A and B are shown apart, each in its own frame.
Chain A
């Protein structure tokens, strides 16, 4: 905090710990409190998005229309995606960044604490708008629900009712929130490292967030621009995406995927950073290939910015263009493969133990690799034209994003929960949660590969009777997956309320500045800069 703004009141606040009551949270500038709020918000959104997924799977248990009207079904599909991506995964990753980055680089707090507060409350405002976009169609004169899928393609998104305007402003608010958070993270990493903490000494989680934050400030403004054009086309007579006025709906697809593809790496990289912290800890060996891991993350981010149109092979691009996008996409598997091999080499001959975080980390290597493999299948043009908009795509991106993003966040939660709360979590329940997730997740999404290859289209409320058996399996799996989160909620609440005291180091093989602080850490992490070897 600069000297001009530190009044006497601020000084006393800093010396007497956190303020009490609602002011502590609403006006918080503390990275741990804001991190906690991010995580709580993300968990609420996870349950909401998960409940929507349960409704979708319940509807798809049998062919025919049982529970949901088609428009509302498509609305659920749309908002399930938006809530999970913008409400659950990104805020959870940002919450962990808030909690861990200052502790990992030896700083007392984030570089821009008030901006930190602002980005969180923008997120809440965006979340409320997102939920309102679902509520509006039920009110008189509310128009049709957003039934476009999360890609919001025109011309359908221009024809949707008022709920689309709510969604457009949701995207603006969430965009501002993540841009502010990203600027804060970059400035913190660049300016607030402890003396001696050079860039190439930073923990991999910090590196993963540095790349992620740069991606976010490059892509979120482009998405904001795209939805702004959509808003203008809807209300102000412009024709950005309207062929009658000389526009082109395909422009929106390019703009959306210019954001949408790097967004995949925004979701993925922080979780890969978490895995890179966990595996050395439980293998009791330093990370194999630190430099190449950093290089791989930067490369993934860079190439990831340049291959967006592989989501649009069917729009009629020239052969040269699709060939470029195909080769670029397949090239990404090289740095991602490097990450995976580095993780495996770290485990090689390590003294491994399998606590819950490690179980998740190992499962991520296995399952994410599988999602990556179907990704290479989809990158190949003739294959993709066949698989396009089928359940194969649904299976692919859930195999990429659930292990690649969500399971990494679960791993991080169990890994750092003792540090955050000062209590050990219940290891038996943690393992129960892990195995429920494994059974539920694979049972849900593995059969969807077969459904897609057999020709079942995505985003449709009904399906051919021949797809019934695999859909029933998938729904049973989804309910196991959903029920697992009741266990997760119980484990977290139990751990927050009490349990065996955690040591400062928590895990035998833990290395890094964050483990030198007490558990739970003091309100301001490092008031005097620590010594970095």
Chain B
């Protein structure tokens, strides 16, 4: 039953085992490696916030406001499980590209405990992202709200004069996300984190309603 070279087999097994361990680590290293790759080669990932800000700020200093008008709408969201009430004080504004404007948002913590959350911004349509810059934003820092606290927060933004002619309306959308889970369901007035209430059995007979 002895065949092949036992030593060679052991080395091959060990070598392949090392490859497996390295590849497991590669999964964790992939994001830093990609950042390094972009830095070395000078590649910019698509629509990075820094790149977009840089374009629009330079543009703002050099140019006077354009004649056309663009509608900017505001959209607010909180993620599932975050007991915050979040709304814009104005739903929409009309701006002239090149003109800076300040708008306010209101947020209230409904939970019985202090909650830390951070807003992530998003511009729709994505083609407008590079022409939209925020010079002041509550999304630049984490927001900490005491139980029941209400806060008004400002955003100063600017739409670049170079905004393509086809785009006459864009939406600035914010989503508040939390990293600290809100512990008890009672505190946040909803079902336990990550579980939606099951109102109906998963498997039902024909004709049943959902």
| Interface residues, chain A, with chain B CB atoms under 8 Å away | 1-3, 6, 14, 65-72, 75, 107-109, 111-112, 137-138, 143-145, 155, 158-161, 179, 182-183, 186-187, 190-192, 217-226, 229, 234, 237, 239, 242-245, 248, 251, 254-255, 258, 316-321, 524, 527, 529
State A323–B9 Cα separation when bound (angstroms): 43
A315: nearest chain-B partner, CB-CB: B46
Contact between B23 and A222 (Cβ–Cβ < 8 Å)? yes
20 A–B pairs (Cβ distance < 8 Å), ordered by A: A1-B1, A69-B204, A71-B202, A108-B3, A143-B194, A143-B195, A144-B196, A155-B79, A183-B16, A187-B12, A217-B23, A221-B27, A225-B26, A225-B28, A244-B79, A251-B30, A254-B30, A316-B46, A316-B47, A529-B3
Partner of A158, one of B194, B200, B201, B204: B194
Contact between A244 and B202 (Cβ–Cβ < 8 Å)? no
Contact between B203 and A111 (Cβ–Cβ < 8 Å)? no
Partner of B179, one of A69, A138, A242: A242
Give residues of chain B (28-50) contacting chain A, Cβ–Cβ below 8 Å. Answer: 28, 30-31, 43-47
Chain A positions within 8 Å of B31 at CB level:
248, 251
Partner of B120, one of A107, A159, A243, A255: A243
Contact between B178 and A244 (Cβ–Cβ < 8 Å)? yes
Partner of B17, one of A183, A248, A251: A183
State A187–B11 Cα separation when bound (angstroms): 9
Chain B 1-18 near chain A by CB (<8 Å), digits 1 or 0:
111111011001100110
B207: nearest chain-A partner, CB-CB: A66
Smallest CB separation, A131 vs chain B (Å): 15
Partner of A144, one of B6, B46, B120, B195: B195
Contact between A244 and B27 (Cβ–Cβ < 8 Å)? no
Smallest CB separation, B25 vs chain A (Å): 8
State A145–B2 Cα separation when bound (angstroms): 50
Partner of B45, one of A222, A224, A318, A527: A318
Chain B positions within 8 Å of A221 at CB level:
20-24, 26-27
Chain A positions within 8 Å of B2 at CB level:
1-3
Contact between A160 and B194 (Cβ–Cβ < 8 Å)? yes
A183: nearest chain-B partner, CB-CB: B16
State A95–B68 Cα separation when bound (angstroms): 69
Contact between B202 and A69 (Cβ–Cβ < 8 Å)? yes
Partner of A187, one of B16, B43, B179, B207: B16
State A223–B20 Cα separation when bound (angstroms): 11
Chain B 168-210 near chain A by CB (<8 Å), digits 1 or 0:
0000000001110100000000000011101011111011101
Contact between A186 and B1 (Cβ–Cβ < 8 Å)? no
Chain A positions within 8 Å of B17 at CB level:
183
Smallest CB separation, B90 vs chain A (Å): 26
B140 within 8 A of A: no
Partner of A245, one of B23, B179, B200: B179
Contact between A318 and B179 (Cβ–Cβ < 8 Å)? no
B119: nearest chain-A partner, CB-CB: A244
Contact between B24 and A144 (Cβ–Cβ < 8 Å)? no
Contact between B30 and A258 (Cβ–Cβ < 8 Å)? yes
Smallest CB separation, A324 vs chain B (Å): 10
Contact between A66 and B206 (Cβ–Cβ < 8 Å)? yes
B149 within 8 A of A: no
Contact between A186 and B30 (Cβ–Cβ < 8 Å)? no
Contact between A217 and B27 (Cβ–Cβ < 8 Å)? no
Interface residues on chain B, size class: 35 or more
State A385–B17 Cα separation when bound (angstroms): 40
- List the 8 closest pairs (A to B, CB-CB), nearest first: A225-B27, A244-B177, A72-B202, A221-B23, A221-B24, A191-B4, A245-B179, A318-B46
Contact between B206 and A244 (Cβ–Cβ < 8 Å)? no
Chain B positions within 8 Å of A243 at CB level:
120, 177
State A50–B165 Cα separation when bound (angstroms): 53
Contact between B1 and A320 (Cβ–Cβ < 8 Å)? no
B73 within 8 A of A: no
Additional A-B contacts beyond A224-B27, A258-B27 (10; CB < 8 A): A72-B202, A75-B202, A144-B196, A187-B16, A217-B20, A221-B26, A222-B27, A244-B79, A320-B43, A529-B3
A112: nearest chain-B partner, CB-CB: B13
Q: Say whether, besides A161-B194, A258-B30, A524-B1, A318 and B177 are in contact (CB < 8 Å).
A: no
Give residues of chain B (146-165) contacting chain A, Cβ–Cβ below 8 Å. Answer: none
State A244–B198 Cα separation when bound (angstroms): 27
Chain B positions within 8 Å of A72 at CB level:
202-203
B136 within 8 A of A: no
State A183–B17 Cα separation when bound (angstroms): 8
Contact between A318 and B12 (Cβ–Cβ < 8 Å)? no
Q: Say whether, besides A72-B203, A112-B13, A217-B23, A6 and B1 are in contact (CB < 8 Å).
A: yes
Among A182, A225, A244, residue most surrounded by chain B Cβ atoms (within 10 Å): A244
State A168–B31 Cα separation when bound (angstroms): 21
B80 within 8 A of A: yes
B19 within 8 A of A: yes
Partner of B126, one of A1, A6, A316: A316
Partner of A255, one of B1, B27, B126: B27
Chain A positions within 8 Å of B178 at CB level:
244
State A161–B208 Cα separation when bound (angstroms): 24
Chain B positions within 8 Å of A109 at CB level:
1
B87 within 8 A of A: no
State A111–B179 Cα separation when bound (angstroms): 49
B118 within 8 A of A: yes
Contact between A191 and B8 (Cβ–Cβ < 8 Å)? yes
B117 within 8 A of A: yes
Contact between B27 and A226 (Cβ–Cβ < 8 Å)? yes
Chain B positions within 8 Å of A190 at CB level:
8, 12
Chain A positions within 8 Å of B20 at CB level:
179, 183, 217, 220-221
Chain B positions within 8 Å of A219 at CB level:
23
Chain A positions within 8 Å of B22 at CB level:
221
State A136–B24 Cα separation when bound (angstroms): 29
Chain B positions within 8 Å of A234 at CB level:
194
Contact between A217 and B16 (Cβ–Cβ < 8 Å)? yes
Chain B positions within 8 Å of A248 at CB level:
31
Contact between B177 and A69 (Cβ–Cβ < 8 Å)? no
Contact between B194 and A242 (Cβ–Cβ < 8 Å)? no
